[in-house]
Amino acid sequence: MDALTSRLRLRWLLFFTASIALTAAIGIIGIAVRQTATDQLQRYVHLREQRIARQIAHDLRRAAHHGGWPLMQLVARQTAHQLGTGLILHADRKVLRIAPAAGTPHTPSLVTVPLFSRQGPLGSLTLTNPPGFEPRLSPVLQAIERALLAATIFALALALGISWWMGNFASRPLERLSRASRAVARGQREVRVAVHGTSEVRQLSEDFNRMTHALAASERRQHQLVADVAHELRTPLSVLAGYLEALQDGVEVPGQDAYALLRGHTRHLVRLVNDLETLALADADELPLHWRTVELSDWLGGWLPTYQVTAQQAGLAFRTAVADDLPPLLCDPDRLEQAIRNFIDNSLKYTPNGGSVAVSIERSPGGILFRVQDTGIGIDPEHIPLLFDRLYRTDPARARDSGGAGLGLAVTKKFVELHGGSVGVTSAPGQGSTFWFKIPLSPAASS
């Protein structure tokens, strides 16, 4: 069956199946109508024959009364002659048999009625070849059959037309979608199909359009990502190349400043490549997580206070508020530390001298809330929805020296999501920002 249908086009498949189904239905209805008509006609004929037989019996009874057996014979012969039927008359132990008129078609039907006189039972009358069904009523049946045949031919033509239309109606949108899919496969991403037809076809067309739209957007993002990565790599690489050339040509003298600069750019490159690799591995579900249950206060106490010194050097106040009632948390401590560090590093980076950075960790319904609040430069509302995108920086020209590659927040978001959590930010330009993420106590419960 599959081999057969795989070679058929949907249009023809629907056409054939609908035609066969409709033809069968019409045929069955035709046969049923013919059978019913025949049955009804036969019933009608039988009743009519009985009525005739009773009428003859009535005449014979009167004849018996007025003229006895001779008159009965005469009436019987006349009647048989008039009707062209044969008859057998039994009366008073006498029998009269009259053969049907020559040439009268034979019918197997027999109609027998009793004969009564005033004194009681007289005998019986049998019509051996009554004016029956054949051939008198067959023209009626033939007319019905002709009408049925005409109706069947008309219905069949209509059925074929409807099947053809149905086949086209069902297959045309699929062919349209198939053409559009081939165009997408050839690389055209902006292909859209018209949305009309039945609700399923409309739904499919809408889904297809959404899919191509998402595909085009993803491709645009990928192009942009590659361009941004190239841009991010170009600056440190050109600085490194220029410096190395200058050192080689003797234009620049090797010294601590030169080494520090080269190391800084190299570190930037290494971090960029590491972050990109981490995100790529996480996207492919190949980033290994080392789950461990940690006592949060002990764990935070091991590294959070070191920021005091960094903040002090930057002329910033650094405050921490770790709640006392924190339960143990199942997490990958290294990834989680990286996630918080990215927030804190940004706050230190984007908060001018004299400002403050506050880190708080507290319980929230179902999980732990990590929050980093600063009194820094803040962020324009238009940037907020894009902040956690890869390589996104609020400085579109990527000219500001203080900025990184724009991967830190994307990495944090990814790590938090791997823990089943969510991230967010509130900010006002010139007033500061609050970055937060929430991790559920049990990652399995949140997913």
Report the candidate in 96, 153, 98 with the shortest Cα–Cα distance to residue 124: 96
Closest CB to ligand ADP among 133 and 307? Answer: 307
Q: Could you tell me if 416 and 423 are in contact, meaning their C-beta atoms sit under 8 angstroms apart?
A: yes
In whole angstroms, give the CA distance from residue 368 to residue 365.
Answer: 8
Kindly write out the interface string for residues 294-333 of this chain, putting x where it contacts ligand ADP by CB under 6 A and - elsewhere. Answer: ----------------------------------------
Q: Is 354 exposed, middle or buried (0-12, 13-18, 19+ CB in 10 A)?
A: exposed
Q: Which stretch binds ligand ADP (CB under 6 A): 3-11, 170-178, 180-188, 346-354?
A: 346-354
Please choose, out of 105-113, 126-134, 321-329, 343-351, the segment that lies near ligand ADP by the rule CB under 6 A. 343-351
Report the Cα 175 to chain-centroid distance in Å.
17
The contact pattern for ligand ADP, residues 61-100, with x = CB under 6 A and - = no contact, is ----------------------------------------
Residue 111, number of CB atoms within 10 A of its CB: 22
CA–CA dist 216, 220 (Å, integer): 6
Angstrom distance (rounded) from CA 275 to CA 190: 32
Residue type present at position 295? E
Among positions 409, 416, 418, 423, the unique one binding ligand ADP when judged by CB under 6 A: 409
Residue among 129, 342, 373, 375 that touches ligand ADP (CB under 6 A):
342
Q: How far is the CB of 355 from ligand ADP (least distance, A)?
A: 10
Least distance from ligand ADP to the Cβ atom of residue 409, Å: 3
Q: For tokens 């009194």, what's the residue?
A: 375
Q: Does 406 bind ligand ADP (CB under 6 A)?
A: yes
Task: Give the C-alpha distances (Å, rounded to integers) separating 193 from 171, 214, 447.
Answer: 15, 15, 36
- Closest by CA to 350, choosing from 301, 408, 304, 391, is 408
Among 56, 367, 394, 420, binds ligand ADP (CB under 6 A): 394
Q: Is 357 in the site for ligand ADP (CB under 6 A)?
A: no
Find all residues with CB under 8 Å of 202, minimum gap 6, and list them: 195, 196
Q: How many residues bind ligand ADP (CB under 6 A)?
A: 22
* Interface residue with ligand ADP, options 407, 416, 418, 439 (CB under 6 A): 407
- Nearer to ligand ADP by Cβ, of 39 and 395: the residue is 395
Residues 6+ apart with CB under 8 A from 315: 353, 354
Q: Which is closer to ligand ADP, CB of 143 or CB of 280?
A: 280
- Find the part of the chain contacting ligand ADP (CB under 6 A) among 48-56, 148-156, 193-201, 372-380: 372-380
The string of DSSP codes covering 40-58 is: HHHHHHHHHHHHHHHHHHH
Among 11, 335, 371, 393, binds ligand ADP (CB under 6 A): 393
Nearest to 416 by CA among 359, 344, 367, 349: 367
Stretch that binds ligand ADP, among 202-210, 252-260, 280-288, 393-401 (CB under 6 A): 393-401
The smaller minimum CB distance to ligand ADP, of residues 133 and 343, is found at 343
Q: Which of 87, 374, 415, 436 binds ligand ADP (CB under 6 A)?
A: 374
Give least dist CB 312 to ligand ADP, A: 18
Q: State how far the Cα of 304 lies from the Cα of 314, in Å rounded to an integer.
A: 16
From candidates 232, 307, 433, 437, binder to ligand ADP by CB under 6 A: 433
Residue 157: strand, helix, or coil:
helix
Q: Which stretch binds ligand ADP (CB under 6 A): 15-23, 78-86, 91-99, 397-405?
A: 397-405
Rounded least distance, CB 232 to ligand ADP, Å: 10
Q: What are the phi and psi torsion angles at 12 (to 5°)?
A: -70, -35
Selected binder of ligand ADP within 350, 370, 415, 437 (CB under 6 A) = 350
- Residue that is written with structure tokens 């971090």 in the block: 271
Asked if 335 touches ligand ADP (CB under 6 A), the answer is no
Residue 264 Cα to chain centre, angstroms: 54
Handedness of CA 229, 232, 238, 240 (dihedral sign): negative
- In the list 376, 420, 421, 443, the residue contacting ligand ADP (rule: CB under 6 A) is 376
Beta carbon of residue 313, minimum distance to ligand ADP (angstroms, whole number): 18
The yes or no reply on residue 424 touching ligand ADP (CB under 6 A) is no
Residue of the chain from 75, 170, 387, 423 that contacts ligand ADP (CB under 6 A): 387
How many angstroms separate the CA atoms of 10 and 147, rounded?
35
C-alpha distance from residue 65 to each of 59, 60, 71, 308 (Å): 10, 9, 9, 143
Examine residue 347 and tell whether it contacts ligand ADP (CB under 6 A).
yes
- Positions touching ligand ADP (CB under 6 A) are 342, 346-347, 350, 374, 376-377, 379, 387, 392-395, 403-410, 433
